[in-house]
Amino acid sequence: MALLEIRNLSVEFETVSGAFRAVDGIDISVDRGDLMAIVGESGSGKSVSMLAVMGLLPWTATITADRMEFNGHDLRTLSGRARRKIIGRDLSMIFQEPMSSLNPCFTVGYQIRETLRLHTSLDRKARQTRAIELMEQVGIPAPEKRLSAFPHQMSGGMSQRAMIAMALACEPKLLIADEPTTALDVTIQAQILELLTDLQDRTGMALILITHDMGVVAETVKRVAVQYAGQKVEEQQVEALFDDPHHPYTAALLSALPERSQDRFLPTIPGVVPGQFDRPQGCLFSPRCQFADARCRAVQPQKASAELGYALCHYPLLHGEPQGKEASA
Amino acid sequence: MAEYTAETEHGLQPAPPPGPVREFWHSFKENRGAVIGLVVFSTFLLIAIIAPLLAPYGPAQQFRDHLLQPPVWQDGGSWQFPLGTDPLGRDMVSRLLYGARFSFFIGVVVVAIATFFGVVIGVIAGFAPRWADTLIMRVMDIVLSFPSLLMALVLVAILGPSLINAMIAIAVVLQPHFVRLTRAAVLSERAKDYVTAARVAGSGQLRIMFKTVLPNCLSPIIVQAALSFSTAVLDAAALGFLGMGAQPPTPEWGTMLAEAREFILRAWWVVTLPGLCILVTVLAINLMGDGLRDALDPKLKRS
Amino acid sequence: MLSFLVRRLLTFVPTFFGVTLVSFAFIRLLPGDPILLLAGERGVSQERYEQLSAQLGFDQPLWKQYIDYLAGIFQGDLGTSFVTKRPVIDEFFALFPATLELSLCAIVIAILLGIPAGVIAAVYRGKFFDRTLMTTALVGYSMPIFWWALLLIIVFSSGLGWTPVSGRISLMYFFDTPTGFMLIDSLLADQDGAFLSAVSHLILPSIVLATIPLAIIARQTRSAMLEVLGEDYMRTARAKGLPPLKINGVHALRNAMIPVITVIGLSVGTLLAGAILTETIFSWPGIGKWMVDSIFRRDYQVVQGGLLMIATIVMIVNLTVDVLYGLINPKIRKG
């Protein structure tokens, strides 16, 4: 059985101007030791779906799902108290802004030991030992000294390492990393990603990496889910995805990578992700899709087969060519 | 853009765009407390203006046969004096209505004096050379080192107890807050590009100080002025209560309380009603002040 | 931190001299001839007048008088009361514990009720709790406290007969007051009911004096909490699986306390101003009542000395608050 199993997850936010659907019928399934990425532009609902799993969304959000299970617990019916036993221990998360994600009033050591105090039966001394061990594990030099430092005394990369140490404190079964490198310098980004995959490899935990950067995905994960405007549009193993993207959006994203560009000019995807007020009637990607026709604009597409990467498209691509177009036309 | 096309199409005078006033009103009326405050405040203001028309008697008129008569709903009360009479047989309703005049008069004058001097000194401090700025701010620190009411008391003792002197004293005590606020706002505005642009365009120093920069610092000053209005009403009443503000027989609410103090055990209405008037007025102003702050200062909106 | 302290101390010095100048000037500006007042209603002969004038230094030029005044201050001499003929500084220290006791009780009440009220209001933002608490706080903030005191006396003293109307302790008790704090002294005196009497005398004045600081602290705590609750590190705290009490009470409150501490410090001035009214109404023998009485009696030396002492206390408290602010805010401590 999968570690994390989500079927048809939707999240709606109550806003002044009506409900806004940030996540729209997402399926995700993660096995033990899995290493996957969720990719999408800003506003595609990738963080929101994971925050829903963690139970960290504000009360304005309404979460519905056919199934939402983690490690045998039904997250939909779990009480707050029972959920708090799981998150931070078996299921932990690190965030985009390491600098502001650490509490400025407490030392790094306090914040790591706090997690241990909450979820383990270690005594004071053992907690300190474990904290030092964790700091070493995430590659922070002079860990004993660093434990008594305040967050503002550390750099962004160092803060993110401390965040990772905190998240790993209770040896979680699943770590969700929400754009862990976006706010960091390019040189630090690679180090942090390497650290994450290395730790994943050593501890055998599952890792979900949320990112908007296809380049990061290629070097890091095994499996990729692509999200667009709150919907999952494609899911494949990473090599297959890069070889043969089945959804036009994935294809467009990949051709926008500088490494893969063959033209003099870098191709871009015109337009932006639809918001609350300009949601198209048919396929959500149709206004920006180079292959879209009348049917795309009028009818919502269904998921394609596993061989076609579950592509949410009327005419999934095969080696760059839209399939089934002539038949319907 | 929208107004521009409308104007050319219809060939009419351009309709004024939704100005800052309208935008402000829109967010002000969202705040229910602020609207209630505004309604109560306006009612009191109206009462203050037309007090002579509403009041059944003059504020100093004495009815020797009706000393300390209770309000109409209590034994011994009559419709002749709906809220009873005070120890000298004066009608409470009339005195309370006239009292509204004094509270508003005090509030308006004190806030006007304190704001005017505070803002002018604050703008000067914001633009002055460092030594002058330091000097001004030190002087303000000194004034602020004395508890406001004590300072006002001593000032009134020097000037002699009267309503006007109490108002001057309160204005002096309130004014450093305006200086600090204005100076802080000026310092942050002064560094902005539009000020440099005005300087490059050849604006004189005075023009930059009062026409370019000051209008952009008004929001916090307006909020402070509203909140100072309530402080002024409260402090004037406190001074009146201590015998250092308006002198009897002035129907100022604080003074009325002081006169009635010895009767608190025998006649609750002479003590309760003036205080209630002060509380409701101050509460209404503070509600409005909170609404003003939320509407004018989006940064503070969440608080 | 050290340079911050030094800089802060440096601004203290000129302000202190300014305060001495102001209290000195005030007395020279007060109407009436102090010597005639000192002599009382019988009047004085010309000869005696000059003698008194020389004794008090009023025949000297103003600048000389100021220098003498400053010299006196540094020797702990604030002059002598015209009325009681006792040194002002002695009177001050005899009365100060009463004010301190009252103010401490008031600020403790304000903090113990104000901070939880602000936290609860912020956590239940926009809900019933929040609205009720914040409406109450605004009423408290708008309260004319002299009237509030009279209302409480009507209800609790004359109506229910629970609390006495004035003073610090019932007249039937008489004992030494080594500390000046009636609560402690009454315990030390070990007389039946003395402590309870002291407590019952303290309750109403403390509530009255606490009202406005309580409202200010509750409002400030709420807005500081609201600011903090939206921060990223609050999400981290929740992601750890911490219980809500720890999230709000430890992670949020610790950050929200930084601005609240400042407000608590600043309310000391409010407290002393409030003490003037509270002490007058409850006949509480502290420095607030002493100052008001002295102003009415035109006891200039007392007004001058009292002004200086009170302003100095306010300045010292503000200084302490700044230092405390540095201690609680790690960014300043190590920065």
Residue of C nearest to B283 (CA): C142
- Segment C145-162 shows an average pLDDT of 87
Query: DSSP for B147-211?
Result: -HHHHHHHHHHHH-SSHHHHHHHHHHHHHHHHHHHHHHHHHHHHTSHHHHHHHHTT--HHHIIII
Task: Name subunits touching B (3+ CB pairs < 8 A).
Answer: C
Taking only the tens place, the pLDDT of each residue in A44-78 is 888 899 999 998 888 888 899 999 999 989 988 88
Neighbour-count burial of B108, counting CB atoms closer than 10 A to its CB (0-12 exposed, 13-18 middle, 19+ buried): middle
Q: Which DSSP symbol is given to B103?
A: H
Q: Is A116 on the interface with C (CB under 8 A)?
A: no
Query: What is the architecture, at CATH level 2, of domain C94-299+313-334?
Result: Orthogonal Bundle (1.10)
User: Cβ–Cβ of A84/C241 closer than 8 Å?
Assistant: yes
Positive or negative, the CA dihedral C110, C113, C116, C122 is negative
Residues of C with CB below 8 A from B226's CB?
Answer: none
Residue of A nearest to C258 (CA): A105
Instruction: Name the residue ranges covered by the structural domains of chain B.
Output: 45-300
User: Cβ–Cβ of C158/B264 closer than 8 Å?
Assistant: yes
Taking only the tens place, the pLDDT of each residue in B166-205 is 999 999 999 999 999 999 889 888 888 888 888 888 888 8
From B149, B234, B286, residue closest to C276, measured CB to CB: B149
From C30, C146, C272, residue closest to B157, measured CB to CB: C30
| Mean pLDDT computed over every residue of chain A | 87
Distance CA(B18)–CA(B23), nearest Å, equals 7
Please tell me the predicted confidence (pLDDT) of residue B112: 94
| Local confidence band at C332 (pLDDT 50, 70, 90 cut-offs) | low
Query: DSSP for C60-105?
Result: S-HHHHHHHHHHHHHTT---B-TTT-SBHHHHHHHHHHHHHHHHHH
Please tell me the predicted confidence (pLDDT) of residue C69: 86
Please tell me the predicted confidence (pLDDT) of residue C42: 62
- Segment A247-269 shows an average pLDDT of 81
Taking only the tens place, the pLDDT of each residue in A179-211 is 888 888 888 888 888 899 989 988 889 999 999
Q: Is B213 helix (H, G, I), strand (E, B) or coil?
A: helix
**Percent of chain C surpassing pLDDT 70:** 93
CA distances from residue B49 to B46, B284, B285, B303 in whole angstroms, order as listed: 5, 18, 17, 35
Our CA-based measurement puts residue A156 at a distance from the nearest CA of chain C, in whole angstroms, of: 14
Q: Is C131 helix (H, G, I), strand (E, B) or coil?
A: helix
SS3 content of chain C, % helix, strand, coil (to 5): 75, 0, 25
Backbone phi, psi, residue A11, to 5° = -130, 125
pLDDT(C323) > 90: no
pLDDT(B16) > 80: no
Residues of A with CB below 8 A from C331's CB?
Answer: 104, 150, 152
CA nearest neighbour of B108 among B48, B152, B38, B43: B48
Q: Using an 8 Å Cβ cutoff, are C53 and C59 in contact?
A: yes
| Local confidence band at B3 (pLDDT 50, 70, 90 cut-offs) | very low
Q: Is C331 on the interface with A (CB under 8 A)?
A: yes
**ipTM here:** 0.85
User: Cβ–Cβ of A104/C236 closer than 8 Å?
Assistant: no
Enter the pTM of the model: 0.84
Q: Is B257 on the interface with C (CB under 8 A)?
A: yes
**Optimal mutation site among B145, B229, B253, interface C, most CBs of chain C within 10 A:** B145
Please tell me the predicted confidence (pLDDT) of residue B302: 37
User: Cβ–Cβ of B142/C148 closer than 8 Å?
Assistant: no
| C and A in touch (3+ CB pairs within 8 angstroms) | yes
User: Cβ–Cβ of A103/C242 closer than 8 Å?
Assistant: no
Please tell me the predicted confidence (pLDDT) of residue B176: 93
Neighbour-count burial of A5, counting CB atoms closer than 10 A to its CB (0-12 exposed, 13-18 middle, 19+ buried): buried
From A56, A89, A97, residue closest to C238, measured CB to CB: A56
Distance CA(C90)–CA(C76), nearest Å, equals 10
User: Cβ–Cβ of C22/B287 closer than 8 Å?
Assistant: no
Element (H, E) at C162: none
Residue of C nearest to A119 (CA): C241
Q: Is A87 on the interface with C (CB under 8 A)?
A: yes
Q: C36 is written with which tokens?
A: 């005639």
pLDDT(C334) > 60: no
Residues of A with CB below 8 A from C236's CB?
Answer: 95, 101-103, 111, 163, 166
**Percent of chain A surpassing pLDDT 90:** 30
Q: Is B147 on the interface with C (CB under 8 A)?
A: yes
Bridge partners (DSSP) of residue A68 are: A6
- The reply to whether CATH 3.40.50.720 applies to domain B45-300 is no
* Residue with token string 């901070």: C115
- Peptide linkage before C61 cis (omega within 30 of 0): no
**Percent of chain A surpassing pLDDT 70:** 98
User: Cβ–Cβ of A87/C240 closer than 8 Å?
Assistant: yes
CA nearest neighbour of B100 among B253, B246, B228: B253
Distance CA(C198)–CA(C194), nearest Å, equals 6
| Local confidence band at B11 (pLDDT 50, 70, 90 cut-offs) | very low
Please tell me the predicted confidence (pLDDT) of residue B297: 67
**Optimal mutation site among C124, C231, C235, interface A, most CBs of chain A within 10 A:** C235
**Optimal mutation site among C240, C247, C251, interface A, most CBs of chain A within 10 A:** C240
| Local confidence band at B2 (pLDDT 50, 70, 90 cut-offs) | very low
Q: C198 is written with which tokens?
A: 């002291």
User: Cβ–Cβ of C241/A153 closer than 8 Å?
Assistant: no
Please tell me the predicted confidence (pLDDT) of residue A213: 84
Q: Is C86 on the interface with A (CB under 8 A)?
A: no
**Optimal mutation site among C147, C204, C293, interface B, most CBs of chain B within 10 A:** C147
Q: Is C127 on the interface with A (CB under 8 A)?
A: no
Q: Is A93 on the interface with C (CB under 8 A)?
A: yes
Query: DSSP for A242-258?
Result: HH---SHHHHHHHHTSG
Q: What is the largest CA-CA distance in chain C?
A: 86
Please tell me the predicted confidence (pLDDT) of residue B73: 83
User: Cβ–Cβ of B279/C151 closer than 8 Å?
Assistant: no
CA nearest neighbour of B117 among B167, B161, B182, B24: B182
pLDDT(C205) > 90: yes
Q: Using an 8 Å Cβ cutoff, are B123 and C289 in contact?
A: no
- Segment A73-101 shows an average pLDDT of 90
Residues of C with CB below 8 A from B96's CB?
Answer: none
Alpha carbons within 13 angstroms on the beta-carbon side of residue A179 total 18
Q: Is C330 on the interface with A (CB under 8 A)?
A: yes
Taking only the tens place, the pLDDT of each residue in C266-276 is 787 778 878 89
Q: Is A97 on the interface with C (CB under 8 A)?
A: yes
Distance CA(A11)–CA(A25), nearest Å, equals 9
Q: Is A302 helix (H, G, I), strand (E, B) or coil?
A: coil
User: Cβ–Cβ of C144/B237 closer than 8 Å?
Assistant: yes
Taking only the tens place, the pLDDT of each residue in A133-150 is 999 988 888 999 999 999
**Higher confidence at residue C105 or residue B216?**
C105
| Mean pLDDT computed over every residue of chain B | 84
Q: Is A104 on the interface with C (CB under 8 A)?
A: yes
Taking only the tens place, the pLDDT of each residue in C57-78 is 777 788 888 888 888 888 888 8
Taking only the tens place, the pLDDT of each residue in C30-65 is 766 666 666 665 666 777 777 777 777 777 788 888
Instruction: Name the residue ranges covered by the structural domains of chain C.
Output: 19-74, 94-299+313-334
Element (H, E) at B65: none
Chain C 232-271, residues with CB within 8 Å of chain A CB atoms: 232-233, 235-243, 251, 254-255
B/C interface, count of CB pairs below 8 Å: 133
Residues of B with CB below 8 A from C18's CB?
Answer: 138-139, 141-142
Q: Is A60 on the interface with C (CB under 8 A)?
A: no
